[in-house]
């Protein structure tokens, strides 16, 4: 597997019309080849999150050295959002659909990213969700609440679908995420042809679902394989390039089940490092495509081409 192209397009300074919204920094699309398949990481923009959302449950005396090491000072984190595009045998497959226009001003750029690689929403044949958080699901509907990818099959893990469509979820998920539940249910219900699958299912030729629960109750990753080579789309199971690698066993405030999320991270990083399998992480830098290396204490993310 080799990196074949890196596209950089700056949306900064694109005109006075953008001054009323949050500035959009440069986005990148990073591409690799896996057998006959082309896999591209497309940027949907970036999130703006309070640091306490991720770090709040970690003892501050243990956290401080790592925050300094990774240059994470300040009250705000701005993780990238990377949507994976798989092109193989006439299919254009998206893993997740981005945020759309209803979540944050700094995201919702997926249609522009698709346009830059010569595709439009009507060209997408399949949309496969890792999970139903806003930055992964809400872009599935257009501004008129119609499915944006009108010609596509839409697929999600059964456990994930059932969790977000359960009427009890909005009352049990916590006040700070109640809007996530309302938004997820509305969008999933709008997808009348939504298909489900189970862990281990081959949902498309050469694409297998891998259970990576914890970030959400039914979070899935996807192994794309061609012969002896494989790439793992991990979604938010490995949610950042710093603490998730340095201390994967620590709880993350972004995970709904922090204990299960940590156990999943530990197992995933061990597998990725042992097999030297390429990965794409939704919130990792440089397009999120790279490999995992073991260090003396923890792991580190090595971007392809970096």
Classify the phi-psi angles of 111: left when phi > 0, otherwise alpha if psi is within -120 to 50, otherwise beta: alpha
* pLDDT at 16 (0 to 100): 28
- Chain-centroid distance, C-alpha 129: 9
- In three-state secondary structure terms, 41 is strand
Domain ranges of the chain: 2-303
Neighbouring CB atoms inside 10 A of 176's CB total: 8
Q: Which helix (H) or strand (E) holds 74?
A: none
Q: What is the pLDDT of residue 256?
A: 96
Contact 141, 110 (CB under 8 A): no
Instruction: Copy the structure tokens of residue 78.
Output: 């701005």
Which residues of the chain carry a pLDDT beneath 70?
Answer: 1-28, 305-306
Write down the pLDDT at residue 2.
54
How many residues belong to the chain?
Answer: 306
Q: Cα–Cα distance between 37 and 87 in angstroms, integer?
A: 6
- What gap in Å lies between CA 235 and CA 294, rounded to an integer? 21
What is the value of pTM for the model shown? Answer: 0.91
Question: In the CATH scheme, what architecture does the domain 2-303 have?
Answer: 4-Layer Sandwich (3.60)
């Amino acid at each position: 597997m080799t990196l074949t192209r890196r596209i950089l397009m700056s949306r900064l300074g694109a005109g006075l019309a953008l001054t009323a919204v949050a500035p959009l920094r440069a986005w990148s699309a990073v591409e690799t080849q896996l057998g006959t398949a082309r896999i591209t990481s497309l940027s949907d923009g970036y999130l703006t999150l309070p640091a306490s959302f991720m770090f709040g449950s970690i003892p501050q005396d243990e956290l401080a050295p790592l925050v300094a090491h990774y240059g994470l000072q300040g009250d705000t984190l701005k993780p990238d959002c990377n949507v994976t595009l798989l092109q193989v045998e006439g299919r254009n497959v998206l893993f997740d659909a981005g945020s759309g226009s209803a979540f944050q001003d700094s995201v919702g750029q997926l249609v522009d990213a698709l346009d830059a690689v010569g595709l439009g929403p009507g060209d997408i044949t399949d949309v496969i969700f890792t999970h139903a958080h806003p930055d992964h699901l809400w872009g599935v509907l257009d501004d008129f609440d119609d499915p944006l990818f009108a010609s596509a099959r839409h697929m999600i893990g059964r456990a994930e679908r059932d969790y977000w469509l359960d009427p009890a979820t909005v009352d049990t998920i916590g006040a700070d995420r109640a809007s996530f539940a309302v938004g997820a249910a509305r969008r999933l219900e709008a997808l009348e042809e939504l298909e489900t699958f189970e862990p281990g299912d081959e949902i498309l030729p050469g694409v297998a679902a891998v259970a990576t629960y914890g970030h959400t109750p039914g979070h899935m990753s996807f192994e794309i394989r061609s012969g002896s080579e494989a790439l793992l789309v991990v979604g938010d199971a490995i949610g950042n390039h710093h603490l998730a690698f340095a201390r994967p066993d620590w709880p993350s405030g972004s995970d709904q089940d922090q204990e299960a999320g940590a156990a999943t991270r530990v197992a995933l990083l061990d597998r990725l490092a042992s097999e030297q399998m390429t990965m794409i992480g939704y919130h990792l830098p440089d397009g999120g495509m790279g490999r995992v290396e073991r260090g003396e204490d923890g792991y580190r993310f090595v971007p392809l081409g970096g």
